[in-house]
Amino acid sequence: MRRQHTSLSISCVKTPETLPGLFFLCTAVLFLAVSCATSPAYKTDLFPTEELVPSDISWEPVCSGIQRTDFNNPHIPLIWHALRIDLSSETIELISNPSEKLTGSSVSVSSFSKKYRAAAAVNANPFSITGLYPFSRRYPVGIYIENGNELSPPSSRYGALVFFASGNGTGYRSVIIDSQSEIAQMNEKPLFAFGGFWTILRNGHIPVYVLHRAARTAAGTDSNGTILYLLAVEGLQRHTSTGLSFMECGSIMEKMGAHTAVMLDGGPSTQMYINGKNVLSYSRFRKSADCFGFAVRARTPGSLSH
């Protein structure tokens, strides 16, 4: 029997207006019971944007085409890390779990990053789990396309981050879609696609979701699809970082320069590695069904295949 893993808990639920009243009531009661027993009380309102993002974001180079920034506000408390990736750069190559078919094998961002010498890497799809530990296997929930091969089918319920090869044969461009069913109507075949949960920013609009703070992983693109933003919010050690809601992550993405953003898998799955090193203040070795990142090209640009 396969069970679906989601690190979002209550926050993968849409706004109350879109839910049957009974389901929302039961979910709210469960959330209150769990939060009172296992975690500090959450604020009932959103943190002001000026407390979530510095007024002047300073980006530091990781390698040609990739920059990073880190933020720490001890008064919330809040810690997050972000990457700004120039997809048009000829010096970087998009990489994900290399495989011709899904076997249920899993990978941690740590091992993936080190094995493929990724300059930057994050976790991607939410996943389902089959079997019991230590024999359990993980399968992506929603669309997963690698080098043009669809390894996991789309879920119309969720959004996705989609990559296409640029016209000049080097570099990429990306789009974020609200429903993975949109892929079937695309005129161009995606090169890569990673399913997430829901869109948290589009055209300056941030949708309303149930307010719940946790560790988060999110991806955003600029209006041209040539700049990719990756966000990792810490939230497993609440005395150092309380985590954020969907809406607060959307605000950060907008301030960084994103036009559209989508939430990827979060909670204990949230990981970000830069040049093989964990950037979070705590260690996470959790395995996921898939992850992706960028490596410095070791050969003459011109081919986007592995």
pLDDT single digits (tens) 183-229: 999 999 999 999 999 999 999 999 999 999 999 999 999 999 999 99
pLDDT at 56: 93
The reply to whether 304 falls in a domain is no
pLDDT at 299: 58
pLDDT at 116 over 70: yes
The reply to whether 109 falls in a domain is yes
Alpha-carbon distance of 302 to 168, in angstroms, equals: 8
Alpha-carbon distance of 210 to 11, in angstroms, equals: 6
Please tell me the least confidently modeled range out of 33-42, 118-127, 171-180, 269-278: 33-42
pLDDT at 270 over 50: yes
The reply to whether 170 falls in a domain is yes
pLDDT at 103: 65
Average pLDDT score, the chain: 85
Cα of 255 vs its chain's centroid, Å: 17
Residue-range definition of the domain harbouring residue 100: 2-296
When pLDDT is averaged across residues 279-299 and rounded to a whole number, the result is 88
The reply to whether 30 falls in a domain is yes
pLDDT at 107: 84
Alpha-carbon distance of 235 to 44, in angstroms, equals: 17
pLDDT at 130: 86
Cα of 300 vs its chain's centroid, Å: 30
pLDDT at 2 over 50: no
**Burial (0-12, 13-18, 19+ Cβ within 10 Å), 22:** exposed
pLDDT single digits (tens) 19-76: 334 444 444 444 444 333 333 333 459 999 999 999 999 999 999 999 999 999 999 9
When pLDDT is averaged across residues 4-22 and rounded to a whole number, the result is 38
pLDDT single digits (tens) 231-249: 999 999 999 999 999 999 9
Alpha-carbon distance of 176 to 261, in angstroms, equals: 7
Q: In 116-256, which ranges are E strands? A: 118-123, 127-130, 137-140, 144-146, 149-152, 160-165, 172-177, 192-195, 199-202, 216-221, 227-233
pLDDT at 44: 54
Residue 264 half-sphere exposure toward CB, CA atoms < 13 A = 32
Band (97; pLDDT cuts 50, 70, 90): confident
Q: How far is CA 86 from CA 19, 65, 114, 186, in A?
A: 39, 5, 22, 23
The reply to whether 303 falls in a domain is no
User: Would you state the structure tokens that stand for residue 148, as one six-digit string?
Assistant: 């043009």
Whole-model pTM? 0.83
Neighbours of 164 (CB within 10 A): 18
Band (8; pLDDT cuts 50, 70, 90): very low
The reply to whether 302 falls in a domain is no
Alpha-carbon distance of 169 to 165, in angstroms, equals: 7
Band (260; pLDDT cuts 50, 70, 90): very high
Q: DSSP characters for 133-148? A: TTS-EEEESS-EEETT
Q: DSSP characters for 253-294? A: HHHHT-SEEEE-S-GGG--EEETTEE-SSS----EES-EEEE
Q: Give how many domains the chain has, as a whole number.
A: 1
The reply to whether 301 falls in a domain is no
pLDDT at 132: 79
Please tell me the least confidently modeled range out of 100-104, 145-149, 179-183: 100-104
The reply to whether 63 falls in a domain is yes
Question: What percent of the chain lies above the pLDDT cut of 70?
Answer: 80
pLDDT single digits (tens) 143-163: 999 999 999 999 999 999 999
Band (251; pLDDT cuts 50, 70, 90): very high
Q: Answer with the residue of higher pLDDT: 130 or 244.
A: 244
Q: What is the DSSP letter of 25?
A: H
pLDDT at 303: 45
